[in-house]
Structures are given as C-alpha cells and as structure tokens.
Chains A and B, each alone.
Chain A
C-alpha cells in the first residue's frame, strides 16, 4: 500500500480549543481530492498542518506520512523538525494560498522569487537553466515568460494567481494543495484556472488537494471528495457517488443549495444557524443542532464509517437510500 499521503488522527488545538478533531485522509498518487465545507471548518488548517506552517499557539498531533515516488523512505512529517520540514516543503508538497493578492514579495521581481524556490531545493547547472525553467513554468500556466521580469503589483489578479501556481510547480512536487484557487476570480477566469489545474494534473501526474467551499468547482476537477464540518470529516467518497447519493445530512444540504439548470425554480432554504464555536461544541454529532433529522442517538459521537462501497459518512442513520421530509420517517427507517 503506497498511498502518496496518509493523514491519521490529526488533532489541532488553539488556546485549548479544538480546531481539527481527528482528521483522517488518504490520497493516492495522481489523485485529485476535494476538501469541501463552510469557512472556518478547518480546511485551510488541515493544509497548513500538513506543511507544519501553523503559527505558534497552535498545537498539532497525529501522523502525516508522505510517500513521494522519487523518495525511498516515507516522510513522517509529524516527526520532522523545522529544519527537516524546510527540505520537504515545496519539494514534495506545495501550496497555492488563498487570495494571491499579496502572496509575493512586493519589492522583488516575479522571476527572482520563483528562482529562489528552485535554488532552495536543487543545484541547477547554471543561471540560464533556471531562467529557461522559469520561462517554461510561466508558459505552462498560460503566461508569457516576459512577465517574469515584472513586479507583483504590475500583474492582474488572474495573472498573480497563475504565477502562484507556477511557483507551486517550480520544484516538481508530487502533491499540490490549492486553497480556494478560484474565489475572488470571475467565472471566466475561474473556468480557465480549473482547466489549467486539470491539464497540469494530466501532464505532470500531480496529486491535487483542492480546497473550496464551492461544490460546483470541486465536482469538475476532483476524483474524490471529503466534506468537513466543525473540524471533522463527515463524508468521503468518489465525487460522482457523493453527488448522486450523499450519505450525510450536511452534504445533502450543501448539494441542495447548488442551483440546477432546468431544475426547480425554488431556492433551497439556507441551513439555519451557523457552525459551532470551537469553544462551545455541541455534545455528540456536531451537526446535530442544525440537522433536520437529529434524534436522541445523535448525542453520541458518530464515527466515520464505510456505509456504501468506497463511501464513508459520520452519521448514525447512514446509509440513506432516500431523504425523507421529516425526522420520524428517518427514525423509523433506521429502526426498521
């Protein structure tokens, strides 16, 4: 079993409050996993925890194992010191940060900053080689190499986003995490970036973790999807299956809120309430206060278990064959 990435039992706390509560994730080489959920559910924290980039004040436990194809020994991230991480970062896993507006040093040129990453992890033969590689990277993301001489403020938002993708690819990692790469871009740009990511995956055999609150975005590019809620994963599975037959009430509600062309003209009601405060978590299932199907059993913590082939959900009443209108029906169904 040589999964590219295995995260087991990741816990992250901040000032004593749980931010991530037992996250398990597996990613195969070349696979695209979507990480979905509302803002604040812990998606970005997971990405930062993987790269051990969380600011001081955050504590993390759990194992994170990377098995890049070009490395003999597996990388046990949780055991690595800061110096050890500096070798792993960007070379094996890179991150395209949310909001590229200010992700580049404003007083240095773009190509200098991409070169910086390259020099950190490789010994290039000459500066010319590096220059050529940068030109290639920029072309790959759909920019002209001449833009490398520019400063960040001389680029548009879409161009900056592409530069960050080029930067993420600079050291040829086997895993790229893209955190909300299309938020703050217009729909046209969004489609272009997604197509670019898809193309890069095919071309370079990259594994991708795509973080987004927008399920529509994830459905286009991902093979599998993991839905997070309040610091936990509540459902995982192949994208088609999860979309066709969601197994967790939260996933169902998220999907309901996506407008369907040609479908009913009614807007789905928004899920009442909001995600819980990490300092004030409900007992048992964290979605219970907002779940239309909540029952007494839900005061017990539901484990994330396989409920259909390759699909797992953290709900006592899964598997759901269909979604009844009311709670009574659900309880009956579960009992029966």
Chain B
C-alpha cells in the first residue's frame, strides 16, 4: 500500500511529474552532457563575449568559449556533488541521531551539543573556511558540504528514535532478550528510513546551492566547469556590466531549476512520510 502511494504521488500528480521530469533531464545531462555538447567547452576563441548566434546558441564567454556547451557539461558537478554530499550528510546525521537517541545518557548529551553547535554556526562561512584551508577540489567540496550539513538530519532522526524507543514493540523485544543491534536493525531503522530519505532529498537541494555558492566565491574545483564557476567567471570578467545576459542568466537558471525539481520531490516525499503535513481540506 505504501509503495503504491509513493508511486501515485510521483507519477499521478503534476508536481511529481514536473519534479521527476526536470531532475531526469539534469541527470541525463550529468551523464551525457559532454557527449552531446556541440563544442569543446574549454576551446577558447577570439569571439569574446559574443551574443547568441547560430554558431553559439548561448553566445561565448570572456575567453570565447561556447556558453551552451559549458552549460551542458556543468550539470555533472552539481548533480555529483549534490547527491554525494547529501549522502555523506545523511549517513553522518542518521548515525549520530541513531546513537544519541537510542543510547541516551552522556553520549546523547554530547552528541546533541555537537549537533546544536553545527546548527547555530553559519554554514557558508564555515564551509568557506574549511574549503580554503584544504585547497578546493571535487572531493574536498563533497567532504566539506557533507560534514557541515548533517545536523538537521541528526536532529530529526534523534527525535524519531526517541519516540520509537519508548514504544511497546521495542520494550517487548527487549524483554524477549533482543540485542541493541537487533532492535536497531529490525525495529528502529525501518521506521526511520522513510524520514531520513525524505529529509535527504531536501539536503540535496541545499548541497547543490552550497556547491554553487562556493564555486562562485572561487572555491570550486578549478579543473572542472560547473554552473557556479561559470557565474564566477562571468562576474569577475565583468559580464554583467557588459550586458552579457546569455552568459549570466542560463547557469543561474539551471541551478534554480535543478534545486526546484529536487525540492518539489523532497516535499512530495515529506508529505508521504508525514501525513500531517498534507493540507487540511478548507
């Protein structure tokens, strides 16, 4: 029944179809972008900051490179970093939430304090500091974003584990002599996974925005083209003042649409996991 409901939400609602469609498109680009790009995205030419034309559908960059090709190729970094960082964040957050929530005591207090610290600290400045120290690369970006975004998941998981821990079926299992790891595996985890999943999808959106911001500030992987680095290059070469809208609007629009599609799906899953979130009939 539950799987059917997810499928209904995903395939039978406008939101589900749009979200899946857009996300599918970007994932496709992430995989095949470089193959279908008309030009080599790093091939410079003398045709600098040129407006869109038949040769260059979205014009050229400050180095004469084809904007459209760069756009297609840039999808890969956003998708890879977004999902990988979210996965790390989910793993870390779920583990901390699970351990703290289940075992309680000083472990929980310590982990909870750690969690609260990460929640209070401004995330982008923290990521900036870490990324600058570690010299930017794709791996560093994934690690930095993943290691700073886990606290939200941690808190949600901890709250859920706390309620589950007190439920009758857990007490019964314990009375029957079940070990902690058994209880966690068979009772706690299955009831927490949907929550973790729904939350992680929304973290993907945050991770994509974070990568873009870091890249824009100059902390992206210098060997790769991403939408964030496109915006960085556009900005530092004065494209806005030159009115080069073809260079400046598309990368940001792609980021927005990707984040939108992931968010729509994230809210959909959240709705499935927590029926209370569904709007009451007026």
A interface residues with partner B (beta carbon < 8 Å):
55-57
B282: which A residues are within 8 A, CB to CB? 55-57
Tell me, in angstroms, the Cα distance from A55 to B280 when the chains sit together.
13
CB distance from B4 to the nearest CB of A (A): 23
CB distance from A13 to the nearest CB of B (A): 15
CB distance from B37 to the nearest CB of A (A): 54
Tell me, in angstroms, the Cα distance from A55 to B281 when the chains sit together.
11
CB distance from B280 to the nearest CB of A (A): 11
Using an 8 Å CB-CB cutoff, how does the interface string of B260-282 with A read, 1 for contact, 0 for none? 00000000000000000000011
A14 to B, closest residue via Cβ: B281
Q: Give the secondary structure class of B's interface.
A: loop
Tell me, in angstroms, the Cα distance from A56 to B282 when the chains sit together.
8
CB distance from A5 to the nearest CB of B (A): 30
A57: which B residues are within 8 A, CB to CB? 281-282
A15 to B, closest residue via Cβ: B281
Q: Could you list 4 A-B pairs, sorted by A, with CB under 8 Å? A: A55-B282, A56-B282, A57-B281, A57-B282
Q: Which 4 A-B pairs have the closest CB atoms?
A: A57-B282, A56-B282, A55-B282, A57-B281
A56: which B residues are within 8 A, CB to CB? 282
The total of chain B residues at the interface (CB under 8 A) is: 2
Tell me, in angstroms, the Cα distance from A55 to B282 when the chains sit together.
8
Tell me, in angstroms, the Cα distance from A154 to B282 when the chains sit together.
32
A55: which B residues are within 8 A, CB to CB? 282
CB distance from A278 to the nearest CB of B (A): 15
CB distance from A277 to the nearest CB of B (A): 16
CB distance from A57 to the nearest CB of B (A): 6
Tell me, in angstroms, the Cα distance from A176 to B281 when the chains sit together.
30
B281: which A residues are within 8 A, CB to CB? 57
CB distance from A58 to the nearest CB of B (A): 11
A57 to B, closest residue via Cβ: B282
Tell me, in angstroms, the Cα distance from A57 to B282 when the chains sit together.
8
Which chain B residues (136-151) contact chain A, with CB distance < 8 Å? Answer: none
Tell me, in angstroms, the Cα distance from A56 to B281 when the chains sit together.
11
CB distance from B194 to the nearest CB of A (A): 30
Tell me, in angstroms, the Cα distance from A56 to B280 when the chains sit together.
13
Which chain B residues (196-255) contact chain A, with CB distance < 8 Å? Answer: none
CB distance from B281 to the nearest CB of A (A): 8
Tell me, in angstroms, the Cα distance from A218 to B192 when the chains sit together.
47
Which chain B residues (56-97) contact chain A, with CB distance < 8 Å? Answer: none
CB distance from A165 to the nearest CB of B (A): 29
CB distance from A24 to the nearest CB of B (A): 30
B281 to A, closest residue via Cβ: A57
CB distance from A84 to the nearest CB of B (A): 24
A55 to B, closest residue via Cβ: B282
A56 to B, closest residue via Cβ: B282
CB distance from B263 to the nearest CB of A (A): 30
Tell me, in angstroms, the Cα distance from A57 to B280 when the chains sit together.
13
Tell me, in angstroms, the Cα distance from A57 to B281 when the chains sit together.
10
CB distance from A54 to the nearest CB of B (A): 13
CB distance from A190 to the nearest CB of B (A): 31
CB distance from B282 to the nearest CB of A (A): 6
Tell me, in angstroms, the Cα distance from A287 to B281 when the chains sit together.
29
CB distance from A161 to the nearest CB of B (A): 26
CB distance from A14 to the nearest CB of B (A): 10
CB distance from B57 to the nearest CB of A (A): 51
CB distance from B126 to the nearest CB of A (A): 36
Tell me, in angstroms, the Cα distance from A92 to B282 when the chains sit together.
29
CB distance from B81 to the nearest CB of A (A): 45
CB distance from B113 to the nearest CB of A (A): 29
CB distance from A99 to the nearest CB of B (A): 17
Which chain B residues (82-134) contact chain A, with CB distance < 8 Å? Answer: none
CB distance from A322 to the nearest CB of B (A): 47
Using an 8 Å CB-CB cutoff, how does the interface string of B9-35 with A read, 1 for contact, 0 for none? 000000000000000000000000000
